Structure 1
Amino acid sequence: MDELLGSELKKVRKSRQLTLQQLSDRSGLSVSFLSQIERGLRTLTFTSLKKICEALDVNVNFFFDNGDSSFVKKEKTSYKNTGNFSYKSLVGKMKHPDFIPARIDLEAGEYQQIPYTHSGQEFVYVLSGQLEVEIEGVKETLYSNESIHIDSSMAHHWYNATDETTKLLLVSSTK
């Protein structure tokens, strides 16, 4: 787990005047897990990070460098690796975007089995590998060059249950 990300999560939680218990209640994640994340002792799945961000009312991009340009160039691309996934914001310098594009690499076996809901929409495009998707109890596998666009208020989750990295383009709405 990236200690800097855990430290930033803690700062945001405290700035919102939330206890670990309150964040746990809002996110559905245990107090001990959240404490370990903040101290950099545990790795974090992308799904868990999204739950925490929803509970803190911040976008995932808040914790990652958006860059200082509208152009996101290949040679300047830097991924934030948390152990279970790598995340690269593709927002650029836009201050209040209506949607958030990101490149995500889910490591082998990166998954969370519990579906959840949140505000907005998600568009997920599989660049390579395969992605297991469950929406309202219906499971489907997406392969390279396949996509899904969902209303995030429906119970859902997606994960990489393979032994290879899955590379995604994720575009999510801000509300």
Structure 2
Amino acid sequence: MDNNKLGIEIKQIRKNKKLTLREVSERSGLSKSFLSQVERGISSVTFTSLRKISEGLGVNISLFFETEEETQSIKKLPFKKNAMQPNFTYTSLVGNMKSPQFYPARIELKAGESHTTTYRHHGQEFVYVLEGQLKVVLNSHEETLYAHESLHIDSAEEHIWYNDTDYPVVLLVVSTNN
């Protein structure tokens, strides 16, 4: 999904929920001007900013990714993928589950993601580093996770995770909304 399609979808969800840019700004912690630029396809988003937008809209981030493949196979579930964002790639591993209680995904953060302001949201997160190094800040404590290390947190705690290296980092992330 390119920036323009993503922006249109964000605006449509916001309008369907009868939310103003101001309300989404207050809920997400992102500026109205940035949100407006995203909706118009002028600005691209980082994974962190898209998570904040989805939290502000009250939806799971996986909602923003197009279905590419449908299959009933147990071994190869259908997935959603966004390969067009410049800062990250998100592959939903939910499959064809309707109303899942948790959202597994494969996320690749490109080199040098710079969004490092902590935030909080509803739910829980389990993050497992498949490749690379992930910087994690949790309640003002900073740490680096390496391949085959993980964290499981209550997302209501102040946190952020990002890639500040010159190489991509690949993650398995399982999250909930409540």
User: TM-score if structure 1 supplies the norm length?
Assistant: 0.93
| Whole-angstrom distance in 2 between the partners of 1:114 and 1:39 | 24
**Structure 2 unmatched runs, 5+:** none
Partner of 1:86: 89
Deviation per CA, 1:11-34: give whole Å up to 9, x if none.
001111111112111111011110
> Which structure 1 segments of 5+ residues have no match?
none
Query: What per-residue deviation string (whole Å, max 9, x for no partner) do you get for residues 112-141 of structure 1?
Result: 221111111100001101000000000010
1:145 matched to 2:145: no
Contact 2:131 2:170 in 1 (8 A): yes
Distance 1:85 1:21 in 2: 26
Given candidates 139, 143, 157, the residue that maps to 1:136 is: 139
Q: Does 1:7 align with 2:8?
A: yes
**Counterpart amino acid of residue 40 in structure 1:** G
Q: How many Å separate the matches in 1 of 2:75 and 2:92?
A: 9
RMSD, aligned α-carbons: 1.8
Output the CA distance in 1 between the equivalents of 2:14 and 2:157.
26
**What letter corresponds to residue 79 of structure 1 in structure 2?**
K
Deviation at 1:72, TM superposition (A): 6.8
- Letter of the 2:142 counterpart: K
Tell me the TM-score normalised to structure 2 length: 0.91
SS at match of 2:148: coil
Partners of 1:150 and 1:84 in 2: CA distance: 24
How many residues align structurally? 174
What one-letter code is carried by the residue in structure 1 that aligns with 2:169? Answer: T
**Who is 1:124 aligned against?**
127
Cα distance, 1:9 vs. partner? 0.3
